[in-house]
Amino acid sequence: MHQQHFYNTCTPVLRRFLLLAGMAVIAMVQACSSTSKLPPAQSSTEFYQKYKSEAGFKGTTIPVGLVTRLFAKEVQDTTVRAALSNITSVRALTFTPTNRKAQRLLENGLTQELDQVLQKENYVAVPLLDSAPGTLQFRMRQSNELIQEIVGYRKYGNNFLMLQVNGRFTPSQVQQLLKKVDPEVFLPLIE
């Protein structure tokens, strides 16, 4: 009641100022609280950068040396060892919704946005891999004869995971690497 009286006794200039100030505050709150207001990513790296610091997301760069040591002891296959030595970076992005808006992002936008990026950048499915629901779906980006990036992702339950591996691999190295190395091994490294 007192607020309405205050507003009615204000000059027209002060009323406009208060109205504009209120609208500015509302716009800032909406911009800060919504990841959906950000423009769609144009590459997998941009997707990672866009979301890595948002609420509910965790972006992790896994040291290449750690990845190499982790698997080098277990794998004797020379093709896989060569692939491991050609890795230049490994990043993981995980997401667990923290509110209803984030839950809607998980259900209605996150994987669709990444799918659009992967289609736009001419990623292709990795041949001979199981694409059953619940498993990581792998796509690779090739330039000339070498594969420069492998992206694995999945939505599982109330979570999302994207794994991005950059390097210079032959197609046979990628196939052998993904047959011999279980990507689930990375999960303890990113928690």
Q: What is the pLDDT tens value at each position of the chain, 191 positions in all?
A: 444 444 455 555 444 444 443 443 333 333 333 444 678 899 999 999 999 988 899 999 989 988 888 777 777 888 888 888 999 999 999 999 988 888 888 888 888 999 899 988 778 887 666 566 667 788 999 888 899 999 988 887 788 999 999 999 998 888 888 777 766 666 655 55
140 Cα distance to chain centroid: 15
Distance CA 148, CA 73 (A): 25
Q: Phi and psi dihedrals of 88, rounded to 5?
A: -105, -25
Contacting residues for 146 by C-beta, under 8 A, at least 6 apart: 168, 169, 170
Contacting residues for 3 by C-beta, under 8 A, at least 6 apart: none
Tokens encoding 150: 């492998």
Indicate the number of domains in the chain: 2
171 and 99 share one domain: yes
Contacting residues for 20 by C-beta, under 8 A, at least 6 apart: none
3-state secondary structure of 62: strand
44 and 121 share one domain: yes
21 and 43 share one domain: no
96 and 153 share one domain: yes
16 and 95 share one domain: no
Tokens encoding 169: 């691999």
pLDDT value, residue 58: 92
Distance CA 37, CA 135 (A): 30
Range of the domain at 154: 36-190
- The pTM assigned to this predicted structure is 0.73
3-state secondary structure of 122: coil
pLDDT value, residue 175: 83
96 and 110 share one domain: yes
156 and 175 share one domain: yes
pLDDT value, residue 11: 55
Tokens encoding 131: 């694409």
Distance CA 78, CA 171 (A): 14
Distance CA 163, CA 91 (A): 6
168 and 131 share one domain: yes
Tokens encoding 100: 């209803």
160 and 122 share one domain: yes
123 and 100 share one domain: yes
9 and 77 share one domain: no
Contacting residues for 172 by C-beta, under 8 A, at least 6 apart: 79
92 and 142 share one domain: yes
